[in-house]
Amino acid sequence: MQRKSLDVWVGLFVVIGVAALMFLALKAGNNSTFSLANTYEITAKFDNIGSLRPQAAVKASGVVVGRVARIAFDDKSYKAAVTLEMDSTYKFPKDSSAKILTAGLLGEQYVGIEAGGDENNLAEGDKIARTQSAAVLEDLINQFIYSKAAEGKD
Amino acid sequence: MIGRRVLAGVGNTVRDYVESVGYATRTFFTMLGLSPGMMRRPHLVIEQLHFIGNYSLLIITLSGLFVGMVLGLQGYYTLNKYGASESLGLLVALGLTRELGPVITGLLFAGRAGTSLTAEIGLMKAGEQLSAMEMMAVNPIQRVLAPRFWAGVIAVPLLASIFSAVGILGGYLVGVGLIGVDAGAFWSQMQGGIDLWKDVGNGFVKSVVFGIAITFIALYQGYETRPTPEDVAGATTRTVVVSSLMIWWLDFMLTALMFSK
């Protein structure tokens, strides 16, 4: 009897501990690696990806429709090749465009997809032709300073 | 003449210190070697798991809740200055899973369970129970130290997970419940910024390492205490001091190893 109640208490402790770990892994963590949804991969090349990271969200109209799977550097076009893992429940026309956006002022960067008008949809292995790079703060500041300097000369 | 005596004293201290490190290492490996034999009686571990795990649950849960609440409050004041209060969930979860969960759990565990282990084994030694075991051909390292060690190694990661999970809920209570941060943003920023293996996984590895270090320090201090009331008291103090310093040092080392590129 003594042994039995001890087992119950220890069991309870272990169950609570494992449940807490599951909570951390599934609720707090980025659980997309466990995703069982069907996906198709497409690639997009960007001049500059800013601080985009693997596992960043791919959004269309603010809805998450996929994740960034891999980021590599293409040494033929000298561009960043970003592989996007798209949820197969969402289809996009072949001439859709991709741009790198920032969530809020200090937020994470993500890829935004804007649907085009083509009748055919993007499929596994397709490339997105039209892309827009991340806004790099230094470039924007430089442009601003140059334009101010140019104004001063006139 | 005095110079020589001082030099000899320093040399002796260093030699004693190195010797005790060597002896501790030998005891550690002896204990690991004897562990498979101990596993034939798993109820010894279960009993200890109850003793050091269940009894630490209350202090860990309450501390986790309050740490999470304080993080939520302080984080909000700072983030709000930059208009980034939606990142509160990310800040709370990142702070807890990477650092505060394992470290504070380790410190609390050293104070709550570590001291009781040291005192228990120190008193067993003072009462000559360990010598009596040896007389009966029972190895006290296998019968007394090993079950407590494995119970500690299992308990600390579970306690650290509970601490972090309750802490996130505490941050949620303050941030979303009291202050009014958007609940959806709280979770989505957290999920967007926390990596399963890099943050949650490494935090878990940290807590396992802390569990090994604290439990062994507590057991060793108890096992090596001189059988006098003063020294048993001194050993419990040493457990807290040594394991606290060890936690900070290991935390620095592990963070440098895990999060640097």
Per-residue pLDDT at B238 exceeds 90: yes
* Chain A touched by B199 (CB under 8 Å): yes
pLDDT in tens, B98-134: 999 999 999 999 999 999 999 999 999 988 899 899 9
Q: Tell me the C-alpha distance between A72 and A49, whole Å.
A: 11
Within 8 A of A19 by CB-CB distance, chain B residues are 165
Residue of B44, B90, B191, B205 best to disrupt the A interface, most CBs of A under 10 A:
B191
Tokens of A80: 């960043």
Instruction: Give me the domain span that covers residue B51.
Output: 43-259
CA angle B46, B47, B51 (to 5 degrees): 115
- Does residue A129 sit in helix, strand or coil? coil
User: CB B158 to CB A7 under 8 A?
Assistant: no
In this prediction, residues B57-65 reach a mean pLDDT of 95
* Chain B touched by A18 (CB under 8 Å): yes
* Chain B touched by A129 (CB under 8 Å): no
Distance from CA of B50 to the nearest CA of A (A): 5
* Per-range mean pLDDT, top range of B13-17, B133-137, B160-164: B160-164
pLDDT (0 to 100) of residue A34: 47
pLDDT (0 to 100) of residue A107: 64
Distance from CA of B189 to the nearest CA of A (A): 8
Tokens of B102: 């394992």
Q: Tell me the C-alpha distance between A134 and A99, whole Å.
A: 7
User: CB B158 to CB A31 under 8 A?
Assistant: no
* Chain B touched by A51 (CB under 8 Å): no
Higher pLDDT, B8 or A25: B8
Comparing alpha-carbon positions, the chain B residue that sits nearest to A30 is: B191
- Taking residue B182's Cβ as centre, other Cβ atoms within 10 Å add up to 15
Contacts of B57 (CB under 8 A, 6+ apart): A13, A16, B159, B162
Distance from CA of A122 to the nearest CA of B (A): 25
Query: Phi, psi at residue B105, to the nearest 5°?
Result: -60, -45
Per-residue pLDDT at B151 exceeds 90: yes
- Which of B139, B150, B135 has the alpha carbon at shortest distance from B42? B150
Q: How many domains does chain B have?
A: 1
Beta strand A109-114 pairing with A57-60? parallel
pLDDT in tens, B18-31: 998 999 999 999 99
Within 8 A of A29 by CB-CB distance, chain B residues are 191, 194-196, 199-200
Q: Tell me the C-alpha distance between B222 and B251, whole Å.
A: 24
User: CB B165 to CB A57 under 8 A?
Assistant: no
pLDDT (0 to 100) of residue A102: 82
Residue of B162, B164, B186 best to disrupt the A interface, most CBs of A under 10 A:
B162
User: CB A30 to CB B196 under 8 A?
Assistant: yes
Per DSSP (E only), the strands in A4-154 are 39-46, 57-60, 63-74, 79-87, 97-102, 109-114, 127-128, 130-132
Of A10, A57, A106, the CB nearest to B49: A10
Instruction: Count how many pairs of residues, chain A against chain B, have C-beta atoms within 8 Å.
Output: 105
Q: What is the pLDDT along chain A (154 residues), one digit of tens a residue?
A: 567 788 888 889 999 999 998 888 887 766 544 455 688 899 999 888 887 877 778 889 988 888 888 899 999 989 999 999 888 888 899 889 998 888 766 666 888 999 888 888 888 888 888 888 877 777 888 888 888 888 876 5
Amino acid identity at A153: K
Per-residue pLDDT at B97 exceeds 90: yes
Contacts of A68 (CB under 8 A, 6+ apart): A52, A53, A54, A55, A56, A57, A58, A82, A83, A84, A85, A111
**Position B30 in a domain:** no
Contacts of B3 (CB under 8 A, 6+ apart): none
Each domain of chain A, given as residue ranges in start order, spans 1-30, 39-141
